[in-house]
Each structure stands twice: as C-alpha cells, then as structure tokens.
Structure 1
Amino acid sequence: MPFTAPLQPGQGFIQSAHYLPSTVENVLWGRLPCATDTAVLTIDSGDEVTIDTLSHEGVLEDQGRDPVSYFAGHGVGRENVLDDAIALAASGYQRDPKVDGPHVVTGPIRIRGAKPGDLLKMTVLEATPRVPYGVISNRHGRGALPGEFPLVEGSVSIFAAVDDDADGSQVGTLPLVAGGERSVRFPLRPFLGIMGVAVAGSTRPHSVPPGSHGGNIDINLLTEGSSLYLPVQVDGALAYVGDPHFAQGDGEVALTAMEASLRVTVRFEVVPQSEALAAFGALVGPLAETQEFLVPTGMDEDLDEAVRKCVRAAISLLHARYGMDEDLAYAYLSAATDFNISQVVDLISGVHARVRVSDFEGHHG
C-alpha cells in the first residue's frame, strides 16, 4: 500500500481514464444524493473511475473549519494538508451541523442503463492513502458509551500517525499516554465507509444513517478487491463514495475510526434485474462480496433487530443462490457463519454476516 504524500488533486498516479476530483462542485457535505441531483460524471456499465475522497476530520466546525491550522496543531505542515480540504473548508459551503451530517461524498455518478430493479455492483480496485495521518473522534454523545465518554466536555479528536513497520508495511500509531513516547501500532486496511446510490424523491438523506441505498454502512471488509451490490432506486443509479478510512474495528465504538482521505478506483457494473434475482434473490439492502465471503447485511435502530434482519437476509441469499432449504440454511448459519457488528454509532446499527463461498463449491456427498 505504498503512497507518496500528499496526493493533491490531479497529482500522482491516476489509474483509470475517468478521474473525479473532490472539488467543491463535485461533492456533497452532510447529505447524500437523491433523484433530482445532477450527475457530475456519466459513464457506461463496466467503466472504472479514479475518485479522490475527503475525510471530514479537520474540516468540521468543531475543529475550526480550518484544516491548515487544525493539522498544524499536530505538527503537520501546510505542504502535507490537502488543497481540496482547504478549498472546501473555505468555500462557504452551506452546511448546518445541527441538521446535516459530517461526511463529504464525491459524486453522484450516472451509470447509463441502470434502472430500478437492477443492482449496481461497485468494486474497489484501489484504495490509496492521500496523507500519512488520520483522526479518530468521539463527539455528540454518540459512541458506544454515551454519558461515559468523552471524559471531558466537548469533542475529543485523537490524531493518529502513519508509520513504517519493520516488515515494510505501514501501520497506524497512537500513544499509550497523551504526550508519551510509547505507542500502540495497528495494521492499516483502507476502505470506504460510504458507498451508495441515490434515493427516490427530491429530499437528500442525512449522511449518517445507512439504509437500503447503502450510504454510511462502515463495513471494513470492503477493501481492495471487494464489491458492494446495491438495489438501484433511480434511473442512472447516481452512485457516490466517501467517508474514507485507513482502519476500523468492527463496531467503530468511539463514533469514528481512523478517518483519512483516500484516492480510490472503483468499477461500476449494472447487474440486470433477471440476473440479480438468479444470483442473489430479491435484495432489499446492501450485499458485500469478497474473495472469501458473501456478506449480507441487516440494519435497524435496535441492534437485536439488526441481527435478526441480517439472519433473514442470509437465509434468503442461501436459498436463492444455492437452492438451500431455509431450515437447513438457518442451521448452517448457526454452525458456520460469523455475524459481525459493522457499527453501533450511526443512529442505525449495522450487522453483517460472513458466509464462506468455499463451503458451497463443488459437490459434497
């Protein structure tokens, strides 16, 4: 996962013929696209797009809406602050923190021929860090332990640096004690917290709660090589990406994980309705796919109900894809499938199952 920091707009390696920078004109801040939004790029099914994404950390109002000053306080020079982050913060973009979310999303992208009933398959081909640092925040009383954390009044944002490990890989680092020299090191696994399609109607959804449109699903399996399938809700799909992470544990308990800007390359493919039904059944929400797993999801304000929805989605998937009897699928899931908490901090809790595709390969007598 090598990178040259910073990856400023238009600079460095751009993998695909289509490039979408995160200029003020190409992003939404705090809201997600709806049917009446105008695409900033139109492509064909199968096309790949290299997209710059921006982390909201460092540009938010409670951090001064001045990334140069904010990151200078953590020892980051102006030359290592992204120009597009500075431009967005200074642009006068009208965002109300009381009613809008924090996330910056790049898009929407129209995919020719996509229509309701189809699925949109978004495959992450590249996820390259644009800077060598990130931020982990606890704010709004919305982590897993509201009322207990933060330990002080207001918001707490923890700066996390990127360092080289002994084997040449890159790791995130946090001090064990504030101001101390000893640190904890953890692996980086860059992924997009937000991948989605536009909703029907003329109201842009809040960027925080995920749903059938995808959005802020925060599934950390969606690293390079993984795909997300989403039910198309409007003509052209109007896809978007954002909320870039360098690392996140399942649960994302403090409210955010290691948030930091990425350059990603995504392939967009329309799966026609007939093919989608044969492959997955009638999907009502996001479905992820990695080389090892099919990953159905469940989402609800109540975590227990999110688990139940995920189990139902997994049973339906096994029945549609493999013809498995539903009671046998239920038994299989209990014996062989992990159900993970995607996140518990986004108003709507998320759960995802990891169904091993190798268990269903070939014939087992």
Structure 2
Amino acid sequence: MPEVVFPLDSMKRFTEQRIVGHNRWHPDIPALVRVKPGDTFRVDCREWFDGAIHNNDSADDILNAPLPSVHVLSGPISVEGAEPGDLLIVDILDVGPIPQEDSGPLAGQGWGYTGVFATRNGGGFLTEQFPDAYKVIWDFRGGVATSRHVPGVSFVGIVHPGLMGTAPSHDLLRKWNAREQALIDTDPDRVPPLALPPNPDSAILGSLGGDDFDRVAREAARTAPPRENGGNQDIKNLTKGSRIFYPVFVEGANLSMGDLHFSQGDGEITFCGAIEMGGFMDLGVDVIKGGMDTFGVSENALFMPGRTDPQYSEWLAFSGTSVTLGGEQRYLDSHLSYQRACLHAIDYLQKFGYSDIQAYMILGAAPIEGRLSGVVDIPNSCSTVYLPTEIFDFEVRPGKGEPHKVDPGAGVPVARA
C-alpha cells in the first residue's frame, strides 16, 4: 500500500483530524502535505457532508443538509517544483470505499446514499417535478450496489472522485467571484440561487487562524461548481486508470480532492445524485514544465478516462428535444432536451411499477450515459439518455406482453419542504 499522506480517522470529525483539510478554494490555504514528482501516495477522503447523512429511512437529514459546510476536501497537497504555467499530471492508481471498514455510521463503510435536495436548498436537475427532499440508501457488496429503497436494480459501480483540482491564483479567484456575483445580481431572490457567493459560515481553511482565517473566509470561493481549476466536475469516467492534466496557477499546484462516488449517472441529475461515500485514492503525480502554453491548456483540465468501467452491452435509449412541458419551443437548448429525455425515461420506468422518484434515483445513481445527439438542427437540440438494461432483475425492454410489475417496496423516504 502506498504511504498515506492524508489520513482520516473514522472516529473523528473532519475538523478534529491530525491534518485538517478545507471546504473552500483560496490560494492562501496552506499546504500541509508535500510530495515530489514521481511519488505515489494514498489520500483518505471523507464523504462530502462529513457524516451528516445517516443510514436510515428518513430524509430529514437531506432536507436539513448543511450545505455551507461542503465539500470537505483532502488537501491542499503541494507538488515540489510545480509552478504557474505548468501542467500537473495526476494518475488515479486506485480508488474505493473506506478500506477494511465494511460497516459503520459513515457513508463509505459498506454503504452510500443518493439524495434529492428540496428546491429551497439547491434543488436538482428536475427540481420543478421533485421539489421536496428524498434519500436512497445503497449497500455495497463485491463492487455491486443494491438498495432497499429501489428494489429490482443492481449494478457495478464506477468509483470516482466527484471533485479534484488545483488551487486558483488570486487573480483567478477574483474573476470567479466577480462573474458569479454578476450572475446572482440578475435575479438575486431566485430559489434556488443562480450561484453561491463566498460565505464565511462553516468555512474550513486548513491550518489558518486569526485575521488570516477571517480574510480568507470572506474571499474564498465555494466548491460547488466546476471551474478552470477542475473542481466539482462530477465526471463518472474519471476513475481508476485515469490520467488527468491540471493547469497550475500557484506554486506547488496545491492539489485537493474529495466527494467520492461509488457510482453515478452522467450529469448527476439529482444534484446529490451520485452514490455518495467516503473512501481512499491512490495517486501518482508528475509535472510538465510550461505545459499550459505548450499544449494550449489555458484553463480546465483534460483527462484520459479509466478503463475499468462495467461492460454493459445492451442499452435502452430515450431521446428528448428542446421543447418545454408546456409546449414552448426553445432554440437548441441542450440542457432542456436532456431534461426531457430524463423525464421520458422516468415515465417509462413507472410503467414497470416504480414510483417517479424511484425512477429518478435510478437515473442519478446507475451508470447511465447522457449524450448530445444533435446540436445543429434548428430549432431543436436532441439529447439522449442510455439506460443499461442489464442492471434490472427483470426484462425492461418493450415487448408484446404487459410490462413486468416490480414490487416497489416501502419506497423512497421523503421530507416535505
């Protein structure tokens, strides 16, 4: 096993660890871990809510989830010799749930969860159809996920970090905050909000204290969106065997990671939509000097996908176009067409006995594939959702007989907003 450079004790909260990570982006958060190009090492990661979500049949914890506290990230990790303008190579050598802990109160100890936030607390991709809070618990066994809340489904996880990235420079941080505040100002009372501005509440900033802590807490960017540094990209194929090339904006690059997922469908459409868990990552790093200019990577990471995806060979695909549920035509709106494709899949799965929220949870957690199938044929964008048929314990494809009716069981826990 590689050296554990960022250890986490499951018996302690994130802020009580020997090395404390962070939940904001800022160049002045000190790196307490240092590695060299060519090193391989292990990083422990806590699930993004640090144990606030529980393995039970209530969705109250999702309804009241402490969003200002996320994501709890392991890092920053400084890479010797990395300088602004370089590319940081990160190889994901292995990634998985918390090792040797297959039961316990923390997500990653043999289980994980998928949630839908209430609209007032962030909502989801289909928040107009699902405005309340919901939760599904998934159990892990031999790399396969099953759920008491969504019967008749099992699938192999594509384990991956939802979030990984390098620290921004001061100039880049100012750019983020200015452009996101300008967006908020266009509709400041919108629910859910258009963006999340800096918020000192619940900020975790590594070893910073005193006046430095207060200043950074006021300035630091929230970790919710993906940005030029990588960040919360939620790419399901960024998994074991992947090689990522991150732009470097500060000395040492200051790499951080977290928000591990046991599985996820393309788009993470329920927002808390992967199977969230804690776990570990084994990584290797190297540096390409001057790589940002050499390869034209001025912003945003590029990566080589891993090769360990489950080998599903049969799919049922649903399509959607950029027309609203009310019949309004939109011009090449791929976001809308993907929503419509997802809604068509939900309608279909309800014919097999699932509730609408059970179907929604399947699309969020299972390794579905989302594709932009047509973006030039005015006025309609066409998006498609590919659902692997082998994840179901019954025949889910259309036939001449009546659809199989699954016993939906107790259903998905809900907390009304």
TM-score, normalization by structure 1:
0.60
Q: Which residue of 2 aligns with 1:214?
A: 230
Q: Distance in 1 between matches of 2:250 and 2:149?
A: 48
Is this contact kept in 2: 1:228–1:287, CA < 8 A?
Answer: yes
**1:226-267, Cα deviation, whole Å (9 max, x unpaired):** 022111111111111100000011011111210111111111
Q: Distance in 2 between matches of 1:233 and 1:305?
A: 32
User: Equivalent pairs: percent with the same residue?
Assistant: 29
Helix, strand or coil for the counterpart of 2:271? coil
CA RMSD of aligned residues (A): 2.9
Q: Which of 37, 44, 56 is the matching residue for 1:45?
A: 37
Q: Distance in 1 between matches of 2:301 and 2:47?
A: 23
Q: Which residue of 1 aligns with 2:140?
A: 162
Instruction: Give the counterpart letter for 2:163 in structure 1.
Output: I
Is this contact kept in 1: 2:247–2:297, CA < 8 A?
Answer: no
If you compute each CA radius of gyration, which structure gives the higher value, 1 or 2?
2
Gaps of 5+ in 1: 1-14, 64-69, 76-95, 165-169, 293-302, 307-337, 342-365
Please show how residues 328-339 of structure 1 align to structure 2 within 5 Å: none
* 1:174 equivalenced with 2:174 (yes/no): no
Aligned residues: 242
* 1:269 equivalenced with 2:286 (yes/no): yes
Q: Which residue of 1 aligns with 2:195?
A: none
**How big is the shift at 1:143?**
1.0
Helix, strand or coil for the counterpart of 1:281? coil
Q: Distance in 2 between matches of 1:140 and 1:30?
A: 22
**How big is the shift at 1:140?**
3.9
Residues 267, 140 of structure 1: CA spacing in aligned structure 2 closer, same or farther, 3 A cutoff?
Answer: farther
Q: Which residue of 1 aligns with 2:125?
A: 144
* 1:189 equivalenced with 2:170 (yes/no): no
Q: Which residue of 2 aligns with 1:111?
A: 79
Q: Which residue of 2 aligns with 1:285?
A: 300
Q: Which residue of 1 aligns with 2:364?
A: none
Q: Distance in 2 between matches of 1:286 and 1:262?
A: 23
Q: Distance in 2 between matches of 1:305 and 1:111?
A: 39
Residues 262, 197 of structure 1: CA spacing in aligned structure 2 closer, same or farther, 3 A cutoff?
Answer: same
Q: Which residue of 2 aligns with 1:198?
A: 167
Helix, strand or coil for the counterpart of 2:115? strand
Please show how residues 255-266 of structure 1 align to structure 2 within 5 Å: 255-256=271-272, 257-266=274-283
Q: Distance in 1 between matches of 2:153 and 2:334?
A: 35
Residues 231, 339 of structure 1: CA spacing in aligned structure 2 closer, same or farther, 3 A cutoff?
Answer: farther
Is this contact kept in 2: 1:135–1:159, CA < 8 A?
Answer: yes
**How big is the shift at 1:17?**
2.7
Is this contact kept in 1: 2:237–2:306, CA < 8 A?
Answer: no
**How big is the shift at 1:208?**
0.4
Helix, strand or coil for the counterpart of 1:222? coil
Instruction: Give the counterpart letter for 1:208 in structure 2.
Output: A
Is this contact kept in 2: 1:213–1:285, CA < 8 A?
Answer: yes
Is this contact kept in 2: 1:175–1:184, CA < 8 A?
Answer: no
**1:211-230, Cα deviation, whole Å (9 max, x unpaired):** 01111011111111102211
Instruction: Give the counterpart letter for 2:134 in structure 1.
Output: V
Instruction: Give the counterpart letter for 2:304 in structure 1.
Output: E
Instruction: Give the counterpart letter for 2:128 in structure 1.
Output: G
Q: Which residue of 2 aligns with 1:17?
A: 3
Q: Distance in 2 between matches of 1:217 and 1:199?
A: 16
Gaps of 5+ in 2: 9-13, 59-64, 99-108, 171-215, 308-331, 336-368, 373-417
Q: Distance in 2 between matches of 1:291 and 1:188?
A: 13
**How big is the shift at 1:58?**
6.6
Q: Distance in 1 between matches of 2:111 and 2:288?
A: 37
Please show how residues 275-354 of structure 1 align to structure 2 within 5 Å: 275-278=291-294, 280-290=295-305, 340=371
Please show how residues 79-94 of structure 1 align to structure 2 within 5 Å: none
**How big is the shift at 1:291?**
6.0
